[in-house]
């Protein structure tokens, strides 16, 4: 079941934003353990790329549904039929751009707006509701300028998102460890864009792992800015591994803080297991069931 290679998140996101899919493998695990199916106040999803080295996509969907997850994160149209087969949905679909190349450059706007419109339509037609986007890398650009350019570009497409009832989510990533020079590496950047766009259909994908590296103060940030957050990602720090007691973030308290805001979107598990991937999926679901 275990493969010899791992697809990086950067590679996966670049492919997804371009609307590319991967072939679905057909390996099946034997002797499935009993379902978890716990209940709670939060809906949970799991990110495909984290399990590409461990199992086929078909197996991932089957186990996710058994455990109690309701969706798969960060997948394009090629994978949507398999998701539906297991009664799941896509909780985050391709939008436009990539981690290095996004809306902070006016010269990209025409291409990205067209790409975003196409992917909003694909997502809406499939009955899903969230697409991802990025500002891109700084390359010496002041944050105020990057914010202005992002607002100018996204305002060209947010009306279409409103019409199709699709949420555009810009992701917060760290520039210290994983994504050098990425511009949305502090919460104030994303909040400023969200405020200036002023649409309920644009908001932040708040990745807790990345935010911990850059700023910490996770629960206070969630409480102060939850109105601008449309999606969450998890991950242990350091290492983006399991979200259990082996790392520095205490996820039960974080999940309670999210639930207490009345959040109705998805918390996406986005960590790479160090041990048994199925046990990691099950344990993370339990931890985040509050």
The residue length of the chain stands at 290
Euclidean distance between CA atoms 217 and 225, whole angstroms: 12
pLDDT at 39 (0 to 100): 64
- What are the backbone dihedrals phi and psi of residue 197, each rounded to the nearest 5 degrees, phi first? -70, -40
CATH architecture of 9-20+37-287: Alpha-Beta Barrel (3.20)
Listed in sequence order, the residues at least 6 apart from 282 whose beta carbon sits closer than 8 Å to its beta carbon are 33, 36, 67
Quote the radius of gyration of the chain (alpha carbons, Å).
18
Q: How confident is the model at residue 2 (pLDDT cuts 50, 70, 90)?
A: very low
Q: How confident is the model at residue 9 (pLDDT cuts 50, 70, 90)?
A: low
- Identify the sign of the CA torsion 185, 140, 151, 12: negative
Query: Where do the H-state alpha helices sit in 24-86?
Result: 57-67, 80-85
Quick one: which of 289, 283, 216 has its CA closest to 255?
Answer: 289
Where along the chain do its domains lie?
9-20+37-287
Q: Distance of CA 54 to CAs 36, 83, 237, Å?
A: 20, 18, 21
Is the pTM value of this prediction over 0.85?
A: yes
Q: What is the dihedral of CA 230, 227, 193, 103, to 10 degrees?
A: 0
Tens digit of each residue's pLDDT (9 = 90 or more) over 208-251: 999 999 999 999 999 999 999 999 999 999 999 999 999 999 99
Listed in sequence order, the residues at least 6 apart from 253 whose beta carbon sits closer than 8 Å to its beta carbon are 219
**For residue 23, pLDDT beyond 70:** no
pLDDT, average across residues 259-275 = 97
CB 109 within 8 A of CB 128: no
Detail the DSSP E strand segments found in the chain.
43-47, 71-73, 89-96, 130-133, 167-171, 202-207, 229-233, 266-269
Q: What is the mean pLDDT of the chain?
A: 90
pLDDT at 274 (0 to 100): 94
Tens digit of each residue's pLDDT (9 = 90 or more) over 45-67: 999 999 999 999 999 999 999 99
């Amino acid at each position: 079941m275990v493969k010899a290679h791992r697809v990086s998140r950067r590679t996966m996101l670049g492919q997804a934003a371009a609307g590319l899919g991967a072939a679905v493998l057909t390996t099946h695990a034997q002797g499935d353990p009993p379902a978890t199916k716990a209940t709670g106040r939060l809906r949970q999803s799991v990110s495909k790329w984290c399990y590409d080295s461990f199992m086929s996509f078909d197996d991932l969907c089957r186990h996710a549904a058994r455990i109690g997850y309701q969706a798969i994160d960060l997948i394009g149209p090629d994978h949507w039929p398999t998701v539906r087969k297991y009664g799941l949905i896509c909780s985050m679909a391709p939008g436009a751009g990539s981690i290095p190349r996004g809306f902070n450059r006016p010269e990209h706007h025409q291409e990205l707006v067209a790409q975003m419109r196409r992917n909003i339509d694909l997502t809406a037609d499939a009955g899903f509701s969230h697409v991802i986007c990025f500002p891109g890398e700084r390359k010496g650009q002041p944050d105020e300028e990057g914010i202005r350019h992002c607002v100018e570009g996204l305002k060209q497409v947010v009306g279409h998102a409103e019409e199709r009832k699709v949420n555009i989510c810009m992701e917060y990533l760290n520039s210290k460890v994983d994504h050098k020079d990425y511009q949305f590496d502090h919460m104030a950047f994303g909040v400023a864009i969200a405020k200036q766009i002023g649409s309920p259909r644009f908001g932040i994908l708040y990745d807790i792992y990345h935010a911990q590296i850059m700023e910490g103060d996770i629960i206070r940030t969630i409480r102060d800015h939850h109105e601008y957050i449309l999606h969450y990602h998890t991950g242990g720090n350091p290492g983006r591994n399991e979200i259990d007691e082996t790392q520095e973030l205490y996820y039960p308290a974080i999940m309670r803080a999210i639930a207490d805001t009345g959040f109705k979107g998805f918390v996406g598990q986005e960590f790479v297991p160090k041990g048994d991937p199925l046990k990691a999926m099950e344990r993370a679901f339990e931890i985040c069931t509050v």
